[in-house]
Chain A
Amino acid sequence: MTMQNDRLLAYFMILPVVAAVLAFVIGPTYNVGTLSLTKIVMGQERGFGTFSNFTALTSDPVFWLVMKNTAIWILGGTLMCVLVGLGVGTFLAIDSRMTTGLRALILLPWVLPDVVTAMAWKWMLHGQVGIIGQTLESTGLTEETISFLGDPKLVMWTLVVVLIWRKMPLVALILCAAIRSVPDDQIEAARMDGATAFERFRFVVIPNIAFSLTAVTVISMIWITAEFALPWIMTGGGPANASQIMATYIYQQSFEFFNWGVASAMSVINLVMLASIVGLYLYINRRSWASEGSK
C-alpha cells in the first residue's frame, strides 16, 4: 500500500514536466508532422495525406545545395568544435596561473549575444573595410583583400570558423573539467610503464572522458543544427545560396514565401536526419564503452 502510494506520488511529482514536454515538444512536433503532409495554398489547408511538399522539395535544386551546406555546417562544425575544444580543454587542464585566468576568459565568446557576434564578425570579414582582409593584405599574405562572406567558395567554411569560435569555449571547459577528474594514479602508473604523453592521452585520458566527450558531441550537434541567427545575419544564405542551410531555408520558406507545408516537410527531414546521426553516434559509443569495460 505504501509502495503504491509512493508510486502515485512519484507520478504526481513528474506530472508538470510530462505536461510541459507534451505541450512544448510533442505538440509542436505533431503539428509540424501533420503540416508536412498537408497541402497548403495561401495559408488555407487544402487536403491532408499528401506527399506533395516532399516531392516539391526533391525537385527544388536549392534543396540539394542546402543539404550539402547543412552537412558541412553540422558535421564539419561539430567535428571541429569537439577537436579544437579537446585541444584547448587539454591545455586548460594543465595547472598554471595562466590557465586559471584563461578558463574564465575563454567563456567570453560564448556569453556574447548571437546578433552582436554576427555583426562584429561580418564587419571584420568584410572585403572592403574588414580588418582581417586588410591585415592579410598589409602583411603581404594576400595580394588583395578577401571577401570571406562574398565568395561562394569561402563563405561556408568561414561560417564554420566563426561557429567554432563561438561554440568551442563551453566544449573546452566541459572537457577540461573531465580531464582534470581523471585519477592521477592511472596516469602515473602509465608513465611508470613507459607510456609516452600521446599514449597516456590516448589510452588513459580518452577512455576516462569518453562519456563527457560523447555528451558534448551530441549537445554540440544539436546546438549547431538549431543555430540560425549567426548564418542568417552574416550572409542571409548568400551569396547565390552558397551558405543556405536547413535553418535559414526553413525560415525563408515559412516567413518570406509563406510556404508552410514545404517548410514543415524540411523540418521533418531535419529532425529525422539529426535523430539518425545522434542515434548512430550513441550506438557506436555505447559499443565502445562496453568494449572498454570488458578490457
Chain B
Amino acid sequence: MTNPISRRRFLGTTAAAGAAALAPLNSAFAASGELSVWKFGGTPNEVEQWAGRNDAFSAGHPDINLNYSYFNGQIRRQKILAGFQTKRLADVIIAFGQDIPEFVGFDMVQPLDDIAADKIPGWKDRIVPEVMNSGMHEGKLYGLPTYVDMASFLAVNLDALEEAGFDRPPATWEELREYAKAMTKPDRPGLAFPATTAPVDINIFEGIAYANGGRIFDEETGKVTLNDAGVVDALQLYVDLIADGSTPAATSLTETFFRDTAQLFGQGRSAMWIGLSWLNTPWGVNDDVRWTGVPMPRPDTPSGSYAPVNAIMDPTAILMVSSRAKNPEAAVEYLDFWSQDEQLEIWGGQPEVARIPAGKAAWDNAELAEVWPNWVEAYNAGSLFEGAAPMPRFIGVSAIESALGTAIQEAVLGQKTPQQALDDATKAAQAQIDLIRG
C-alpha cells in the first residue's frame, strides 16, 4: 500500500513546517523598527538621566530606532489628546497615574496584560508591590511605574525652628498654627503654601484633606464630595493660617505655585512650606539654609466622612503603551528595559533623590538612606505605604480638581467661606461630571 504525497499536500506541509520553525525567530526579531516615546514632566536631573538611559537602550537594541521626545508635564493632556485625535500618538507615553482612567476611557492606552503577559512576572519581582499597584485600573495593568510622589509633606527651616524654641517639627494642625505663628518675623512668614490652580498645588491640598477623612468624589454614588467636612475643614486650616498672620499675603499665595514657593523657602524667605514628598530636593536651598522634610501635620480629630489616609500617592512617570502603537513589541521591550534595576536605580540615591523609588533594589542604596533615612526606615519596617491611598483618579478628575482649585482661591482670598466656596464648587463640578460622563 502506497501513500503518495500530492504536490499540494507537500507544499502545504512544507509551508506549515516553515512557519512553525520561523515563528520563534519571528518573535525574536519582532522588537525592531521605529519606536516613538513621549515623556512628560520630571525634574531637570531626571530629564537628563532619562535621556542618558535611553542611549543605553539604543545601544542594547540596535534594531530599534528610538524616537524620544520630552515635553513639559503641564501640557501632557493637550499633547496626548491632539496626538490621539490626529492618529499620531507615540507608541509609549510616560505621563501621570492620575491620567490612567481617562486615557482608558478614551481608549488611548491598552492593558499591558494583553501584550506583555510574559514580562509582568519579572516586573513584579523587581518593583515594590504598592508602587506596582499604582499602574492598575479596574483589575488590569495599564502602566509600569518608575517611582511615586506622595502628598503632603512639610519642609522646615531648622534654624527658624530652633530660634522659635522648638525641638521638633509640628505634628498636628494645632501645632502647625502655633509653630507658624511663632516662626513668623516681619520680613519672613512662618509658613507658605501654594494656592494657584496648578494641579500640583491642588494635589498638595488634597493630601491634607484626605488625611482629614475627606474625598473629592465618591465613585460608588457618582457624586462630587468637595463639600464633605473633611475637605471643608482642611480648607479652613488654610484660612486660619492666613488669619493668624503666619503666611504671605493671601493675594501672593494665589499667584505663587509650588516651584516658586519651594524656591522662596530655599532662599530663606519662609520658615516652612507645604509640598509633595520631594519638597526642595529638585531645586536645592541656599547654603546657609538648614532644613528637613517631615510628613504634613495631622488633624487632632479627623472630621471627614471617609477613612483618613496617611498620604496620597501617584506615579508621575508611568510608562503606558498607546492603543494605536504601531510597534507594540518594541514598546514592551522599552518598558521591560525601564523595569530593570539599572534604570530604577536612578531614584535610589545620586543622581536623583527627589522621588520615592519603585525598584526594590533602589531601597538598598546607602545614599538614599543618608538623604531620606526616615523613608528607608519606614520602607524596611513595611510601614512606608501603610494607610496610603492613590491620588484622585477617575474620569472627570480634572474638572473636579479645577473646581476645587477655584474654591481654594475663593476661600484664601476671603471672597467666600470654605463651606460656601466648596458648596459652589461641588455644584459646578457635578454639572461638569454629569456632562462628561453623560
What is the chain B residue whose CB lies nearest that of A133?
Answer: B252
Question: Does A210 interact with chain B (Cβ within 8 Å)?
Answer: no
Interface hit among A20-28, A121-129, A172-180, A280-288:
A121-129
Instruction: Tell me whether B436 and A152 are in contact (CB under 8 A).
Output: no
Interface residues of B in 160-176 (CB under 8 A from A): none
Interface hit among A101-109, A163-171, A195-203, A236-244:
A236-244
When the two chains form the complex, which single residue of A149, A241, A256, A262 contacts B255, counting CB atoms closer than 8 Å? A149
When the two chains form the complex, which single residue of A41, A152, A240, A255 contacts B81, counting CB atoms closer than 8 Å? A255
Instruction: Tell me whether B197 and A237 are in contact (CB under 8 A).
Output: yes
Instruction: Tell me whether A257 and B248 are in contact (CB under 8 A).
Output: no
Instruction: Tell me whether A241 and B406 are in contact (CB under 8 A).
Output: yes
Interface residues of B in 97-154 (CB under 8 A from A): 102, 105-107
- What's the least CB distance linking B10 to chain A, in Å? 52
Instruction: Tell me whether A262 and B435 are in contact (CB under 8 A).
Output: yes
Instruction: Tell me whether A150 and B415 are in contact (CB under 8 A).
Output: no
What is the chain A residue whose CB lies nearest that of B252?
Answer: A127
What is the chain B residue whose CB lies nearest that of A244?
Answer: B406
- A258 and B254 contact, Cβ closer than 8 Å, known pairs A238-B409, A240-B413: no
Bound: A235/B256 CA distance, A: 10
Chain B residues closer than 8 Å to A241, beta-carbon distance: 406
Bound: A167/B251 CA distance, A: 27
Question: Does B269 interact with chain A (Cβ within 8 Å)?
Answer: yes
Instruction: Tell me whether B410 and A252 are in contact (CB under 8 A).
Output: no
Instruction: Tell me whether A127 and B255 are in contact (CB under 8 A).
Output: yes
Chain B residues closer than 8 Å to A147, beta-carbon distance: 249, 251-252, 254-255
When the two chains form the complex, which single residue of B248, B264, B413 contacts A239, counting CB atoms closer than 8 Å? B413
Interface residues of A in 5-19 (CB under 8 A from B): none
| Most B Cβ at <10 Å: residue of A128, A235, A256 | A128
Chain A residues closer than 8 Å to B248, beta-carbon distance: 127-128
Interface hit among A58-66, A73-81, A90-98, A213-221:
A58-66
Chain B residues closer than 8 Å to A117, beta-carbon distance: none
What is the chain B residue whose CB lies nearest that of A255?
Answer: B78
Instruction: Tell me whether A258 and B106 are in contact (CB under 8 A).
Output: yes
When the two chains form the complex, which single residue of B78, B252, B395, B436 contacts A128, counting CB atoms closer than 8 Å? B252
- What's the least CB distance linking A62 to chain B, in Å? 7
Question: Does A292 interact with chain B (Cβ within 8 Å)?
Answer: no
Bound: A258/B106 CA distance, A: 10
Bound: A144/B194 CA distance, A: 20
Chain A residues closer than 8 Å to B81, beta-carbon distance: 254-255, 258
Chain B residues closer than 8 Å to A42, beta-carbon distance: 105-106, 395, 436-438
Question: Does B399 interact with chain A (Cβ within 8 Å)?
Answer: yes
Question: Does A259 interact with chain B (Cβ within 8 Å)?
Answer: yes
Bound: A56/B406 CA distance, A: 19
Question: Does A151 interact with chain B (Cβ within 8 Å)?
Answer: yes
Question: Does A43 interact with chain B (Cβ within 8 Å)?
Answer: yes
- A240 and B399 contact, Cβ closer than 8 Å, known pairs A46-B438, A59-B431, A128-B264: no
- What's the least CB distance linking A55 to chain B, in Å? 10
Question: Does B398 interact with chain A (Cβ within 8 Å)?
Answer: yes
What is the chain B residue whose CB lies nearest that of A59?
Answer: B431
Chain B residues closer than 8 Å to A39, beta-carbon distance: 438
Chain B 66-106, CB within 8 Å of chain A: the 1/0 string?
A: 00000000000110010000000000000000000010011
Chain A residues closer than 8 Å to B396, beta-carbon distance: 257
Bound: A39/B438 CA distance, A: 9
Chain B residues closer than 8 Å to A128, beta-carbon distance: 248, 252, 256, 264, 269
Bound: A71/B126 CA distance, A: 57
What is the chain A residue whose CB lies nearest that of B75?
Answer: A255
Instruction: Tell me whether A150 and B251 are in contact (CB under 8 A).
Output: yes
- A56 and B431 contact, Cβ closer than 8 Å, known pairs A150-B255, A152-B415, A240-B406: yes
Bound: A218/B252 CA distance, A: 36
Instruction: Tell me whether A239 and B255 are in contact (CB under 8 A).
Output: yes
Question: Does B432 interact with chain A (Cβ within 8 Å)?
Answer: yes
Bound: A241/B415 CA distance, A: 12
Instruction: Tell me whether A256 and B398 are in contact (CB under 8 A).
Output: yes
- What's the least CB distance linking B104 to chain A, in Å? 10
Chain A 224-257, CB within 8 Å of chain B: the 1/0 string?
A: 0000000000011111110000000001101111
Instruction: Tell me whether B256 and A126 are in contact (CB under 8 A).
Output: yes
When the two chains form the complex, which single residue of A126, A150, A258 contacts B102, counting CB atoms closer than 8 Å? A258
Instruction: Tell me whether A150 and B198 are in contact (CB under 8 A).
Output: no
When the two chains form the complex, which single residue of A59, A127, A150, A256 contacts B402, counting CB atoms closer than 8 Å? A256
Instruction: Tell me whether A257 and B197 are in contact (CB under 8 A).
Output: no
Chain B residues closer than 8 Å to A152, beta-carbon distance: 413, 415
Instruction: Tell me whether A259 and B435 are in contact (CB under 8 A).
Output: yes
Interface residues of B in 369-409 (CB under 8 A from A): 395-396, 398-399, 402, 405-406, 409
Binding site for A on B (CB under 8 A): 77-78, 81, 102, 105-107, 196-198, 248-256, 260, 264, 269, 395-396, 398-399, 402, 405-406, 409-410, 413, 415, 424, 428, 431-432, 435-438
Q: What would be 22 A-B contacts, judged by CB atoms less than 8 Å apart?
A: A39-B438, A41-B436, A41-B438, A42-B105, A42-B106, A43-B106, A43-B107, A56-B435, A60-B428, A62-B428, A126-B255, A126-B256, A126-B260, A150-B251, A150-B253, A150-B255, A241-B406, A252-B402, A255-B77, A255-B78, A258-B77, A258-B436
Binding site for B on A (CB under 8 A): 39, 41-43, 46, 56, 59-62, 126-129, 144, 146-147, 149-152, 235-241, 251-252, 254-259, 262
Given A60-B428, A238-B255, A258-B77, 10 other A-B contacts at CB below 8 A? A39-B438, A42-B437, A127-B249, A144-B249, A152-B415, A238-B196, A238-B406, A255-B77, A255-B78, A256-B77
